[in-house]
Structure 1
Amino acid sequence: MIVFDQVGFTYHGAPRPAFSGVSLHIPEGELCLVAGRTGVGKSTLLGAVNGLVPRFTGGRLSGRVTVAGHSTQSRSPQEFAHLVGVVGQDPLAGFVTDTVEEELAYGMEQLAVGPETMRKRVEETLDLLGIADLRHRALRTLSGGQQQRVAIGAVLTAHPAVLVLDEPTSALDPAAAEDVLSAVLRLVHDLGTTVLIAEHRMERVLQYADRLLHLPGDGTVRNGTPADLIGACDVAPPVVELGRIAGWQPPPLSVRDARRHAPALRERLAGRRPAAPRRPAAADAPALDARRVTVAYGAAVAVREVDLTLWPGQVTALMGRNGSGKSSLLWAIQGSGPRRSGTVEVAGSDPGDLPAHEARALVGLVPQSAADLLYLQTVDAECAQADRESDAAAGTCRALLDRLAPGVRGAQHPRDLSEGQRLALVLAVQLTAAPRVMLLDEPTRGLDYHAKRAFGRIVRDLADEGGSVLIATHDVEFVAATADRVAVLGDGDLVADGPTAEVVCSSPSFAPQVAKVLRPEPWLTPRQVARALAGAEVAP
């Protein structure tokens, strides 16, 4: 179905190719996972499938790419629209209509699909992705996860032979991600659709993949089955890391595979327990105290009388399904968003009553659309401006960026970076200021496992220095490795709040892979297990 014949690509001004000499064949009806660290060229490789690379990116493409016998050199991306459906990393950037139903129908209108067929496919897709209740909603009023499901649905209605998905589950809660992947698997198994997925949250996809394309970052692409390649991959989900630590061969690809080995590992861990999570000292004053916060948009209540106290030295994760009110609560706490009622106190002041520059000194916020905060012409300029605005030592922001996403060139325009690299830059800019309370909305989107670990260390450093961090996220593995405490929102209400292990292990949806494998023991991460087996004290 898809053939790369000695394909290479180099961006204008880049010192080396994104990839070169790539030859591979992806047959019809396969689910192919594209893996690699942030910025290695996964999105570029996907863009070459329908000719978006190099037609819309610039640069020089060598070799030949064909899909179902049609060369991308002889046909424009528009002519591949009926054959290849593409969902990019930023769903909102790809929308062309105003409402959900219109967006689902738009692609079929351009392909001259008949009205009766269009109506039937729209209904099927609404049900398939669980978004029937959103059909008349304006796209810009949806949560990030809801927008992502609509973007996927808008492509599915055209019934393409090839489906290219770039980070399709990054903004989805675990249950919604499973629903989307189930829909994709039905297309693969029942209709013979060929699917390429680039996904940093490999734990969600690896067990379903027929083929793995690994980009190690040296310009090559390694092609094989997940079982053959995952052992040598520099990125791997927690269940694979656990297998490496325990010495399991071959490495497990799923929780079910790992549980076959779990009894022996539980015996090795007998008598050991993870260290207790950090708890606020009795003498500590709250870093932030929110009382009876209510957020409403017209008649729709997004957050309903929520009480939330954040403590210095503590990392709190805010979880819940898409549309549960997480982002609305963060904006209300920060002071920039609407708040119908309730109070927020930080250092004796309500950020909502202060001028913007004073509020930012108390509470910092990185939104989901983080790249909107970038406005200068180069990475170096953004970093230097962040140092000046925060009165930080020169090079502070750049050092943070190098920890999150090494190798980003200072002369690059921020809009030319990959989604993960842009997010890393915005995180570095915001973290340079180190306010008393830092609010982060889905900060790990686009970050590989190494970058997330580096970011987790930065978050922990902020907490260890007396700051308080609240992270709204669907990334259960990041929460397990970083958070001391988890609060869960359900339809605007705070439904759970407690130590991380207690909250996430009580829910099959929010439990990390290691917890599922070693249940009922309270282990959350491979690092905890590794330290326990080595005889070291285990940190949360």
Structure 2
Amino acid sequence: MIRFDDVTFFHAGASTPVLAGVNLHIPEGELCLVTGRTGAGKSTLLGAVNGLVPRFTGGTLHGRVTVDGHATEDRAPQEFAELVGVVGQDPLAGFVTDTVEDELAYGMEQLGTSPEVMRKRVEETLDLLGIAELRRRPLRTLSGGQQQRVAIGAVLTAHPKVLVLDEPTSALDPTAAEDVLAAIIRLVHDLGTTVLVAEHRVERVLQYADRLVRLDGDGRVVDGEPATLIADSDLAPPVVRLARLAGWEPPPLSVRDARRRAAGLHERLRGREPATNTAEPGAARLTARRVTVAYGQTLAVRGVDLDLRGGEVLALMGRNGSGKSSLLWALQGSGPRRSGTVDVGGTDPGKASAKGARALVGLVPQTASDLIYLDTVDAECKQGDTESQVPPGTCRTLLDALAPGIPGDRHPRDLSEGQKLALVLAVQLSSAPGVVLLDEPTRGLDYHAKRHFTETVRAQAAAGRAVVVATHDVEFVAGAADRVVVMAEGEIVADGPTAEVVVSSPAFAPQVAKVLAPWLTVEQVAAALAEEAS
């Protein structure tokens, strides 16, 4: 179905290729998982499938890409719309209408689909993705995860033979991600759709993949059986890293398979307790009481009480649309607040100037590019140092820890989504105030970058700051958070230590906890086994 024949691609002005001599054949009806570190070229590989690379990105492509026998060099990307459906990393950037129902129908209108068929497919897609209640909602009022599902649905209604998805579950809560993956698997199994998925959260997709495509960052692309390629990959999910620790070969790809082989490991860990963060949180840095946020007649946050303590990393979790982002903006002072109070050192950020509010509470939004406005990475870092009044090079040092190797002269908008996020995080964290709010900060970050980011977040807390991370990334939460707050329909429904909250919830439990509860991370298990050996 998809063929890459000796494909090499250079960005404009670049001396080294992003893709080098790629030969790849993906048969019809396969689910293919594309992995690689942040900036390795996954989005470039996906963009080449329908000709967006290089027609809209610039650069030079050598070799030949064909889909169902049609070469991308012979047809414009819009002529591939019926054959290849593409969902990018930023769903809002791809919307062309105002409401959910209109967006689902738009692509079919352009293809000349009859009204009767359009109506039927719209209804099928609304049900398939669980978004029927959103049909008349304006797209800009949806949460990031809801927008992601609408973007996928807008592509599915055209019934393409090939579906290309770039980070499709990054903005979805665990349950919604499972629903979307189930819909994708149904397309593969029942309709023979060929699906390419680039995903940093490998643990969500690996068990369903027929083929793994790995980009090593030097332009090379390797493909093969998932169990074979993941065994020695440096981007292995927790269940595979646990297998390495326990000596299981071949490694299990799912929690279910790992659980079947974990009896011996359970026995070795019997009587031991997981190591946890022993630092005691300090005094409250921020106190919120009866905070309510409304958009018209819709209540997004309903009378929330919350204390954010210095020295503590708090993970804010909950399904898409539960009110997490609305709460963060209300706490920072920039977002609407119908009622309630927020106190940071005796000052309400909502009543301070924009500059004063930022000095009290720092906020990194979901869409990192909203805070990027200069022409080069170096200029952004230099401006970040200047605005933060910190020593020159502070921002760049943070950036290198999050996503090493980003050229200083690269335009920020030419970066991958993960690299953009890393840049904005570095700028914001350069002068982090007493309270730091991060909205979905791990989107687009590979496992290595997330480990570095975890260290950065922990360092912020160790410096006495209160850090809040709104996220759906359960693996990140397991390793970084001291406390978890779960929201539902604008209210707090759970608040407690990480181990207690996530282990009690199948939806929010990390892979290791599903195999070896109450252990949460591979690192905890490794430390316990190391003690046993000594």
* TM-score after normalising by structure 2: 0.99
Deviation at 1:15, TM superposition (A): 2.8
Deviation track 1:160-217 (CA, whole Å, cap 9, x = no partner) reads 0000000000000000000000000000000000000000000000000000000011
Q: Distance in 1 between the 2:58 and 2:225 partners? A: 32
Partner of 2:94: 94
Partner of 1:383: 381
Partner of 2:3: 3
Deviation at 1:56, TM superposition (A): 0.3
Q: Distance in 2 between the 1:285 and 1:416 partners? A: 42
Asked if 2 retains the 8 angstrom alpha-carbon contact of 1:126 and 1:153, the reply is yes
Alignment of 1:120-159 (within 5 A): 120-159=120-159
Deviation track 1:432-481 (CA, whole Å, cap 9, x = no partner) reads 01210000000000000000000000000000111110010000000001
Partner of 1:298: 296
Q: Distance in 2 between the 1:222 and 1:435 partners? A: 44
* Residue number among 529, 532, 535 corresponding to 2:531 in the alignment: 535
Q: Which amino acid aligns with 1:351?
A: P
Q: Distance in 2 between the 1:345 and 1:408 partners? A: 39
Deviation at 1:271, TM superposition (A): 1.8
Deviation at 1:280, TM superposition (A): 4.0
* Residue number among 409, 424, 427 corresponding to 2:425 in the alignment: 427
Q: Distance in 2 between the 1:327 and 1:169 partners? A: 18
Partner of 1:267: 267
Q: For 2:196, what is the secondary structure of its paired residue?
A: strand
Partner of 1:242: 242
Deviation track 1:478-498 (CA, whole Å, cap 9, x = no partner) reads 000100000000000100000
* Residue number among 315, 320, 343 corresponding to 2:318 in the alignment: 320
Q: For 1:205, what is the secondary structure of its paired residue?
A: helix
Q: Distance in 1 between the 2:8 and 2:293 partners? A: 51
Deviation at 1:403, TM superposition (A): 0.5
Deviation at 1:361, TM superposition (A): 1.1
Q: Distance in 2 between the 1:305 and 1:297 partners? A: 15
Alignment of 1:120-269 (within 5 A): 120-269=120-269
Consecutive unaligned residues in structure 1, runs of 5 or more: none
Q: For 1:302, what is the secondary structure of its paired residue?
A: strand
Deviation at 1:348, TM superposition (A): 1.3
* Residue number among 380, 402, 405 corresponding to 1:404 in the alignment: 402
Q: Distance in 1 between the 2:232 and 2:528 partners? A: 24
Partner of 1:525: 521
Deviation track 1:358-383 (CA, whole Å, cap 9, x = no partner) reads 11111000000111101111000000
Partner of 1:105: 105
Asked if 2 retains the 8 angstrom alpha-carbon contact of 1:280 and 1:312, the reply is no
Q: Are positions 1:55 and 2:55 aligned together?
A: yes
Q: Are positions 1:441 and 2:439 aligned together?
A: yes
Q: Are positions 1:79 and 2:49 aligned together?
A: no
Q: Which amino acid aligns with 1:285?
A: A
Aligned length: 533
Q: Which amino acid aligns with 1:106?
A: Y
Q: Distance in 1 between the 2:78 and 2:373 partners? A: 31
Q: Distance in 2 between the 1:129 and 1:333 partners? A: 32
Q: Distance in 1 between the 2:222 and 2:105 partners? A: 38
RMSD between aligned residues: 1.0
Q: Distance in 1 between the 2:38 and 2:180 partners? A: 23
Deviation at 1:356, TM superposition (A): 1.1
Q: For 1:514, what is the secondary structure of its paired residue?
A: helix
Deviation at 1:285, TM superposition (A): 2.3
* Residue number among 450, 467, 470 corresponding to 2:468 in the alignment: 470
Deviation at 1:298, TM superposition (A): 1.1
Consecutive unaligned residues in structure 2, runs of 5 or more: none
Q: Distance in 2 between the 1:152 and 1:276 partners? A: 39
Asked if 2 retains the 8 angstrom alpha-carbon contact of 1:82 and 1:158, the reply is yes
Q: Which amino acid aligns with 2:49?
A: V
Q: Distance in 1 between the 2:39 and 2:528 partners? A: 34
Deviation track 1:242-284 (CA, whole Å, cap 9, x = no partner) reads 1111111111111011112211001111221113444645xx4
Partner of 2:42: 42
Deviation at 1:7, TM superposition (A): 0.7
Deviation at 1:14, TM superposition (A): 1.7
Deviation at 1:536, TM superposition (A): 8.5
Q: Distance in 2 between the 1:410 and 1:297 partners? A: 41
Asked if 2 retains the 8 angstrom alpha-carbon contact of 1:216 and 1:234, the reply is no
Q: Which amino acid aligns with 1:438?
A: V
Q: Distance in 2 between the 1:148 and 1:491 partners? A: 19
Q: For 2:347, what is the secondary structure of its paired residue?
A: coil
